């Protein structure tokens, strides 16, 4: 048993040498979703609190992002989040793609999929009430352009 614990401890120590990159790309404000759509202060606050940490280049890495293997799991979530939807690169989306992303945002709010529970466990301020979900869903819906598949 002692050998197993020593191997586990040594493995944990070695893991700490494999750090994640916590630098964020520079935000080009002219491409940012909030700068482009200019939401109300309430909506901007909700977006920054519940969405931007994983879906923009404005991720704030908490202290535990320095501890492997939790850091690897966290980085994977952030990378996946920005790959799927990156509000910092909103201005690069075609009108059709932006409309589709907004449609997904509406659905995510209505179904309660976002923010994910593993995020809200450690970020209680990101937990959205039913009313806040409605506000965001309505906001996303109001910014849709309803482009069909043959439009762009």
| pTM, full prediction | 0.84
**Domain-embedded: residue 38:** yes
Whether 123 and 85 have beta carbons less than 8 Å apart is answered as no
Total domains present in the chain = 1
**Domain-embedded: residue 123:** yes
**Domain-embedded: residue 151:** no
Tally of CB atoms within 10 A around 112: 11
Q: Average the pLDDT over 74-87 and give the result.
A: 93
- 64 DSSP assignment: G
Condensed to tens digits (0 to 9), the pLDDT of residues 3-18 reads 999 999 999 888 898 8
**Domain-embedded: residue 20:** yes
**Domain-embedded: residue 147:** no
Is the peptide bond between 26 and the residue preceding it cis, with omega within 30 degrees of 0? no
Kindly report the CA angle at 66 between 64 and 67, in degrees rounded to 5? 70
**Domain-embedded: residue 22:** yes
Q: Is the dihedral angle over the CA atoms 40, 31, 129, 125 positive or is it negative?
A: negative
Domain that holds residue 135: 2-142
**Domain-embedded: residue 14:** yes
CA 11/CA 20 separation, integer angstroms: 17
Condensed to tens digits (0 to 9), the pLDDT of residues 123-133 reads 899 999 999 99
């Amino acid at each position: 048993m002692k050998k197993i614990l020593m191997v586990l401890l040594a493995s944990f120590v070695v893991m700490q040498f494999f750090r994640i990159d916590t630098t964020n790309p520079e935000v080009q404000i002219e491409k940012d979703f909030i700068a482009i759509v200019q939401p109300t202060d309430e909506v901007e606050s909700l977006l920054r609190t519940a969405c931007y940490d994983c879906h923009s280049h404005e991720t704030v890495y908490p202290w535990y992002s320095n501890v492997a293997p939790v850091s690897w799991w966290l980085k994977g979530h952030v990378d996946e989040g920005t790959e799927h939807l990156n509000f910092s690169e909103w201005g690069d989306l075609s009108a059709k793609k932006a409309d589709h992303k907004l449609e997904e945002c509406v659905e995510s709010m209505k179904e309660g999929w976002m923010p994910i529970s593993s995020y809200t466990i450690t970020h209680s301020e990101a937990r959205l009430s039913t009313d806040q979900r409605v506000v965001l869903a309505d906001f996303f819906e109001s910014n849709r352009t309803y482009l069909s598949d043959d439009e762009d």
